[in-house]
Chains A and B, each alone.
Chain A
């Protein structure tokens, strides 16, 4: 039997001699720094969730009906009548939320350990493109069940393009293919959600990994293992402080996968709507173009950006400033390699100013999430009866907007003009033997 396999292997090898080296380069002999910690689980988990979304998504399309008249009922049909349909749908909807949990943590890791810095700018940019496509994918997927929040979410998000001067109104009509989100909108979103964007997403993920394997992974110390001493137990020419991805990190990631799947299973089985955070209550009623849900809000993973949109008022007769602020918040992240000019990568050896700024960024981002999700609108009157909610919410929200954008301004000034006092960076990773 072994003989048969090796003969097949030889046969393939003769015709595609570069296949095995490619596999070795990206998997078995991809040498990664040996000091990866908990934060390094999220890349592999993102890949896991992507596979989950594709597989469950394929099975959902088998019973989903793409029309404004039938979509809502077909989702209910999947939930009630299709064997195990509820599980497949909850795996898909929970997967969408967990995708963002994992990706946000993955991005935070990159900022914290300076993984976006030279020479990994391309990895970071490709990652940001993945994030953008992921947001488009999530938004369009949210529209497909055609619940009332789907409809109004689509209305509000598409209307963002209506704030563009001159072409805005016709652009909105073009995107919707009607005067309101309608059958045409649903159909094109379905096409984009299940074909166009996944193809782009897969391509970007492949490029993201290929770009990463060109330069090698960063690590919690931000030390360049490639420039350190050579020679380890497996290869005399590979970095001393690196270990092969397989079996070491495949096994490590399998452990992370097991833990992650356990958490995901608890959510899927016991709290699939997650108290209205993963699946909003208003989306359990069919779309109605004459009734707006009383609290319109996007899925939780959009709320920080949505809050930025809400907190910036309109000036000069146009509401485009909030839209620019929202997209600018994402663009600034993509430009981080050129904003943060510090030479030291890891937060472990960076100046106090950077550590505080990073904390402010995290707090502002989370607080904006609460503002966008309408939590502050409920909490303020409950904690401080008699105050003007709008004034206080705006004051708090705008402070957090300043915190978010302030991070980028501060970090640029801090690193550009040499205010940062860094600690000495060690030659080798701190846990070498």
Chain B
């Protein structure tokens, strides 16, 4: 197994005067003394005599080890390229917690804040609206907020909030991430004759109640997620930090 053999076979194939099917495996195994060019597509008698038995086991071993080591190398080389698609350090830094002032939000009003460039709805629910939450259960997919991934423990309740009147949810439909409209009035709507107020996604008509709980029979599979947040004081909340983390 010397370089001469490889060069020999390459020259052989490149020779336009011959075509490949004329060769048997044995032709490629015969080894020229010094990699000399073979002309006219004929292997000289002297070289044909120089037959050599091929060690197939050794050849297979070399093929497999080369493939495995080379494959591992390729996979290792791909990792940096895959990882380069992860959010960069700058994008992650932009995801830091934000503190917002909620003192100006009137009862019944919704204000949208940006956290990690996600729209976060903060709604100041009225007593009337809170009263509507009861009795909706049969029409909801997950009325008890049993999916732990959709809200922190401190928001696993009927109002899905720390303080009953203050709803804080990420305003992205759990179907495909559109921003649902805030439709707070308790009156019949074109999409629901028995509307008790809530959120309506214009993209695919998913509906949520005023706690961000999803209705059954709509494309969205989950309740609107509640981000980690806590009250710094009565008029300020910090989004992105749990109460216990804040101390």
Residues of A within 8 A of B (CB): 17, 152, 155-156, 159-160, 162, 173-180, 182, 184, 188, 289-296, 310, 313-314, 317-319, 322, 381, 388-390
Contacts and interface: CB of A to CB of B under 8 A. Distances in A.
Interface in B87-121: 87-88, 91, 95, 112, 114, 116-119
A388 B112 CA distance: 31
Contact of A319 (B88, B217, B219): B219
A184 B221 contact: no
A287 to B, nearest CB: 11
A180 B203 contact: no
B67 to A, nearest CB: 24
Given A313-B218, A314-B175, A314-B219, 15 more contacts: A152-B203, A159-B177, A162-B176, A176-B87, A179-B95, A179-B116, A184-B87, A289-B117, A291-B179, A292-B179, A294-B202, A317-B222, A319-B175, A319-B219, A389-B191
B199 to A, nearest CB: 12
A173 B178 contact: no
B219 A173 contact: no
B147 interface: yes
6 contacts: A184-B87, A295-B202, A317-B142, A317-B147, A388-B193, A390-B205
A314 B220 contact: yes
A109 B87 CA distance: 44
A173 B118 CA distance: 13
Nearest to A162: B177
Given A317-B147, A389-B190, A177 B87 contact: yes
Contacts of A17: 16
- Give the contact-size bracket for chain B: 20 to 34
Nearest to A295: B202
A188 B118 contact: no
Given A177-B85, A319-B219, A292 B178 contact: yes
B218 A178 contact: no
A291 B220 CA distance: 19
Nearest to A183: B91
- Pick from B142, B193, B203 the residue with the most CB of A within 10 Å: B203
Contacts of A294: 202
Contacts of A293: 202
Given A175-B85, A179-B116, A314-B221, A156 B91 contact: no
A178 B88 CA distance: 8
A178 B202 contact: no
Given A178-B91, A184-B88, A296-B202, A159 B179 contact: no
Contacts of B202: 292-296
Contacts of B204: 310
Given A179-B116, A179-B117, A389-B191, A184 B91 contact: yes
A313 B179 CA distance: 19
Given A289-B117, A290-B114, A295-B202, A319 B221 contact: yes
Contacts of A188: 85
B190 to A, nearest CB: 7
Contacts of B205: 390
Contacts of B118: 179-180
A160 B91 contact: no
A313 B91 contact: no
A141 B211 CA distance: 38
Nearest to A311: B219
Contacts of B86: 173-174, 177
Contacts of B175: 159, 314, 319
A152 B178 contact: yes
B20 to A, nearest CB: 13
Contact of B117 (A173, A177, A178, A318): A178
B91 A179 contact: yes
Interface string B118-133: 1100000000000000
Interface in B166-217: 174-179, 190-191, 193, 202-205, 217
Contacts of A388: 193
Contacts of B222: 317
Contacts of A292: 178-179, 202-203
A324 to B, nearest CB: 14
A177 B91 contact: yes
A155 B178 contact: yes
Contacts of A310: 204, 219
A294 to B, nearest CB: 5
Contacts of B220: 314, 319
A314 B204 CA distance: 12
A352 to B, nearest CB: 38
B178 A296 contact: yes
Contacts of B219: 310, 313-314, 319, 322
Nearest to A152: B178
A322 B119 CA distance: 25
A317 B221 contact: yes
B179 A290 contact: yes
Contacts of A156: 176-178, 203
A413 to B, nearest CB: 31
Contacts of B191: 389-390
B174 to A, nearest CB: 8
A147 to B, nearest CB: 16
A178 B95 CA distance: 9
Nearest to A17: B16
Nearest to B193: A388
B151 to A, nearest CB: 15
Nearest to B214: A314
B244 to A, nearest CB: 24
Contacts of B176: 155-156, 159-160, 162, 319
A159 B175 CA distance: 8
B44 to A, nearest CB: 26
